């Protein structure tokens, strides 16, 4: 994250030998880049007490609606378990998430088979919790999966904190059948950010400030298959060290 003109932005780099290293105040850095992309962040944090209350209300609603007549049934475009379970959505899009918050969502499902359905999950990561409501779904009945995502527990392949654009999937096992579970994917996507809205005036005054020698470079006409690079140089003019959490070309 960087501060330009008083606003905080994410910047994506092409060649990044400086990842997870500090850039001292007053120091310059030169790097190769194919594309710079700025995106302003608006972050929201969810109160933990509200999260617990939300789960409680969702579970209560699911229990009540199981046998409630006259409900308008939604369309379920996706399916798991060779069609036994219909799913309203198979992708949970969570948007921008503060790294220190917890994000809760729900996925509606329906049992269209003639037997009871119980869902379990293959290789569920520590940062994701899934709760079925009800635990066992009767034939013809609807239910929900409550998803709870804790970004602070999400580590990348190097064992470090995950940042930025993030996608992951879990696989749903229907009634213990592990032969076709890879066809039953539940996907997640989000962007993991830092929440600067809680910074004090002093913290903002001492925050890293990035100044680029230039922000634009015209590559002109390029032959097909050619690799073109350009060195962008920037300097940290702030009082505190600049830490680049993650870099990604786009």
Q: Please tell me the predicted confidence (pLDDT) of residue 57.
A: 52
What pLDDT, in 10s, does the model give residues 130-150? 999 999 999 999 999 999 999
What is the Cα–Cα distance from 57 to 201, expressed in whole angstroms? 38
Instruction: Read off the tokens for 230.
Output: 């350009």
Strands 91-98 and 185-193: parallel
Q: Specify the pLDDT at position 90.
A: 97
pLDDT at 198: 87
Beta bridge partners of 130: 147
Give the pLDDT confidence of 223-235 residue by residue, as tens digits.
999 998 999 899 9
The domain made up of 48-193 is a member of CATH 2.60.40.10: yes
pLDDT attached to residue 3: 46
Q: Which two tokens stand for residue 16?
A: 């990044």
pLDDT given for residue 30 in this prediction: 53
Which token pair is 203? 């913290």
What average pLDDT does the segment 8-24 reach?
Answer: 48
pTM of the predicted model over 0.75: no
HSE, side-chain direction, 13 A CA sphere, residue 153: 11
- Every domain of the chain and the residues it spans: 2-41+198-243, 48-193
């Amino acid at each position: 994250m960087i501060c330009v003109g008083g606003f905080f932005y994410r910047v994506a780099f092409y060649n990044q030998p400086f990842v997870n290293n500090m850039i001292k105040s007053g120091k310059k850095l030169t790097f190769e880049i194919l594309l710079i992309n700025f995106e302003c962040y608006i972050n929201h944090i969810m109160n933990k007490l509200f999260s617990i209350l939300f789960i409680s209300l969702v579970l209560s609603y699911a229990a009540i609606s199981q046998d409630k007549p006259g409900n308008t049934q939604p369309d379920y475009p996706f399916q798991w378990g060779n069609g036994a379970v219909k799913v309203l959505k198979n992708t949970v899009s969570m948007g921008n998430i503060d790294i220190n918050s917890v994000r809760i969502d729900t996925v509606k499902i329906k049992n269209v088979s003639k037997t009871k359905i119980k869902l379990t999950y293959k290789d569920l990561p520590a940062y994701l919790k899934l709760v079925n409501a009800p635990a066992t779904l009767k034939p013809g009945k609807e239910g929900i999966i409550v998803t709870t995502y804790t970004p602070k527990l999400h580590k990348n392949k190097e064992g470090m904190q995950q940042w930025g654009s993030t996608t992951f999937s879990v696989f749903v096992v229907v009634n213990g059948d592990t032969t076709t579970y890879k066809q039953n994917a539940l996907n997640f996507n989000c962007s993991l950010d830092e929440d600067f809205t809680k910074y004090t005036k002093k913290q903002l005054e001492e925050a890293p400030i990035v100044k680029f020698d230039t922000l634009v470079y015209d590559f002109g006409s390029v032959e097909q298959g050619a690799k073109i690079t350009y060195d962008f140089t920037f300097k940290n003019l702030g009082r505190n060290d600049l830490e680049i959490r993650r870099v990604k070309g786009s």
